[in-house]
Amino acid sequence: MRLKTVLLGVVGLIFVLIVAVVVVLKSIDVNKYKPLIAEQVKAATGRELTIRGNLDLHIGFSPAVVVHDVSFANAPWGSRPEMVKLGRFEVEVALLPLIFRQIQVKRLILVQPDILLETDAKGTGNWVFGAPAAGPPPKQPAGGKTALPSVAVQKVRIEKGTLAYRDGKTKQTTTLALDHLDIEAKDLTSPVTVDLAAAYNGKGFTLVGTVGALAELPAPSRPYPLKFTLKAGGATVEVDGSVAKPMEAEGLDLKVVAKGAELAEVAKFAGRQVPPIGPFALAAQISGSPKALSVSGIDASVGKAEQLLIKATGAVKDALNAKGINVVVALESKDLKSAAKAFGAETPALPPLSLAVRVKDAPGAYAFEELKASVGKSALAGSGVISIAGPRPKVSAQLASPLLDLSELLPAGGKAQAKPAAGQTPAESSKDKRMFTADPLPLESLKAADADLGVKIDRLILPNKMPIEALVVRLVLTGGRLEIQPFSGRVGSGAIGGRLALDASSGKTAALATKIDAKGVDLGQVMQQTGNPDLVTGAKTDLVIDVRGGGGSVRDVMAGLNGDLLLVLGEGKINNKFVEFLGADLLKQVVEKVNPFRKTDPQTDLKCGVIKFTVKDGMATTDRGIAFETSKMTVVSSGTANLKTETIDFSLRPNPRDSTGIGAGELVKLMRVRGTLAEPKVGIDELEAAKTAASIGAGLATGGISALAKSLAGGSTADPNPCATALGKAPAPARGGAAPAPAAPAGKEAPKKPGVEQIIKGLFGK
């Protein structure tokens, strides 16, 4: 018999056998196995498996089983009856490998799977099944070993599926809707390709890439490779590298590259709302494991340089625990106003900004080194530590600046609109014309963190352009207690120093104690430095403020204030426009009434000036403590300012040194300032005017016109050294028309004024 004939016979026999198998399989009603399948599933999981549709068996060289309308029961406490619902399940296998007990799945298709994973209020998942049903163990074949056939899947496709996770504690649900998922490999030893298109909480994304062979996944003989590209929220993320132990996610060695046109879109994809920031880019090497993740080779940027550009380079040895940090962060902005506006904040138009700092970690703290910052002409450098080990974060830093120009950084002029006090409507607030606000002080914010800052500024320029040279400040904040320990600096060739303590440790009220001492400040030089060279010449100035108070608002603090204030002006020349420069309407009114030479002399030769107050329980009092002496005039004032009610009552007594050429009407300047700090009113002191009128009448009766002029001028009773008297260095003269007694305190009735009859009698000496 020839070989060809034999081979044809064998092939024919095999064909007959296959046909016979197909005929046999077609004669089998596979639907009768549905109860058996459901029974086995329930025995293994304790839950019902329901197959409502038919089991279809397609016979050919690639037999396929198709199942329709399948559901798997949820846990008894679940939010819906089914944990899994499946529209169609289809599996296609190769026929010939079955002869050798090998199951080679050519295609596995799931259509419209609906999977719900959820937890109860205690955190138990619905994927935790009950104990398998009791029963005899499966029979073992001869030899005591179960010979399971090998299974290989070439392609898996999931279409129009839904995977939802519901948190039983928060009642929030996260949904992943699949358009399609294709997983494909030639065999168990070949790389696997993945193609996914889905939507996370309604936001679409795609993921394509390759991973290593499935056979290598449990225990790879070499690092398991993977390469993916993710596109979501307008961003692209590329991951390329390997994992030593993929099942434990250990031995990561991945390079990550991410970029996008708008970071806000990515934040939106993650369920966060941030303003538009601009493009971003990130490149980094990730290694280690979730327990000790390391990030190195960081090269990141966010935003546009015109608005806000943030860059970071360096490494983090343990990213999850924030340890081993050594990262340089840089920030640049040419238009910070636009960047702030994007974040919903308003800032003035600022010059270009740059910042660079190296961040490192230490036990329980983070250190920042090599800090270099600049905004326009201003610059700042230094280093410090942010500690997180204590009950509150603490910042310790040493900072230095050659120039800090606040006039370039802060808006010039304008007054901030006062906010309504707590419990007040805007209408009610507008009616409150008091100067000291009753708004609660933000004292709790002082307890949010501790600080110890040392600052040295070679030249500080205030918003009004006044410079402070060689400023040294140390600020200490501990448990809500703020101390500005002795600070020092130079202003107008003079020295300034002091200290401040604000104890807000209770969180409701604060105790304030402050002392400021300035000596030898050349007021003329200060005016020249602020761009007003013609207003003042000379006028060396000393200032001492030493006050204490407490309360929950500025109004409370002022109402209980105690202490002293002393301002001393030396010899100089004051331009009459200086009053307009100060912008004080009250002062302008006073000067117009007490200085008869203002219309003829453009400037005043100041000999000296003193303002001295003693404050006790919110009542500021001065007795001849306000005094000014010029080449032609002296002005003395006494009175009170009730800081609790903000009412004021001051008398002013001007006296010319030489009354020649001055009319009597110009000399009768018996003034009184009353009202409130917010709305002062200048008027005539009726009582003293009446006394003067009586004196005029006596003068006419006894001495004639010459005595009248002398009486009006007050020459006999004017204090020749009012500044020395105000400072307590000379005895006060006998009280008279020009040396006033203190004005009546607010709330007390002034002495009864003389009537018209008395005034007339005084005029005629009767």
Which string of DSSP letters, residue by residue, matches 490-555? Answer: EETTEEEEEEEEEE-TTSS-EEEEEEEEEEEEEHHHHHHHTT-TTTEEE-EEEEEEEEEEEESBHH
Asked whether the beta carbons of 543 and 566 are under 8 A apart, the reply is yes
Closest by CA to 547, choosing from 488, 498, 487, 610, is 498
What pLDDT score does 13 carry? 52
CB half-sphere exposure, 122, CA atoms < 13 A = 3
Other beta carbons less than 10 A from residue 282's beta carbon: 17
What is the crossing angle of helices 686-702 and 704-713, to 10°?
Answer: 150
Query: What's the first-to-final CA gap in the chain, in angstroms?
Result: 173
Tokens of 654: 């001007």
Burial degree of 344 (CB within 10 A; 0-12, 13-18, 19+): exposed
d(CA 391, CA 388): 8
Whole-angstrom CA distances from 564 to 45, 367, 426, 650 are 85, 43, 36, 18
What pLDDT score does 510 carry? 92
Burial degree of 218 (CB within 10 A; 0-12, 13-18, 19+): exposed
Phi, psi of 362, rounded to the nearest 5 degrees: -140, 170
- The secondary structure of 264-324, three-state, reads HHHHHHCCCCCCCCCCEEEEEEEEEECCEEEEEEEEEEECCCCCCEEEEEEEEEECCCCEE
Domain-wise residue ranges, the chain: 21-126+149-184, 445-532+543-560, 561-763
d(CA 664, CA 617): 42
Burial degree of 170 (CB within 10 A; 0-12, 13-18, 19+): exposed
Cβ contacts of residue 713 below 8 Å, gap of 6+?
Answer: 655, 656, 659, 667
Tokens of 227: 């390469």
Tokens of 127: 């994927």
Burial degree of 20 (CB within 10 A; 0-12, 13-18, 19+): exposed
**pLDDT, block means (10 residues), the chain with 766 residues:** 52 52 54 81 86 76 79 92 90 66 74 91 84 52 47 81 90 89 87 93 91 87 94 93 90 94 83 80 91 90 84 90 90 79 69 92 90 93 92 94 90 47 46 83 90 96 92 95 92 94 90 95 90 88 95 94 95 79 58 60 84 95 91 87 93 73 48 86 68 52 46 56 87 50 47 42 38
What pLDDT score does 102 carry? 63
d(CA 666, CA 593): 9
Asked whether the beta carbons of 605 and 630 are under 8 A apart, the reply is yes
Asked whether the beta carbons of 410 and 390 are under 8 A apart, the reply is no
Positive or negative, the CA dihedral 490, 495, 499, 500 is negative
Helix (H, G, I), strand (E, B) or coil at 198: strand
What pLDDT score does 367 carry? 94
Asked whether the beta carbons of 631 and 572 are under 8 A apart, the reply is no
- Element spanning 373, H or E: strand 365-375
d(CA 401, CA 376): 13
Whether the model pTM is above 0.95: no
DSSP character string of 628-668: EEESSEEEEEEEEEETTTTEEEEEEEEEES--TT--HHHH-
d(CA 732, CA 718): 10
d(CA 635, CA 596): 12
d(CA 622, CA 567): 13
What pLDDT score does 320 carry? 83
What pLDDT score does 33 carry? 73
Asked whether the beta carbons of 113 and 98 are under 8 A apart, the reply is no
Q: Which amino acid is at 341?
A: K
- How distant is the alpha carbon of residue 293 from its chain centre? 29
Angle of CA points 358, 363, 367, to nearest 5°: 20
What pLDDT score does 659 carry? 53
What pLDDT score does 227 carry? 96
Q: Tokens 């030899």 sit at which residue?
A: 143
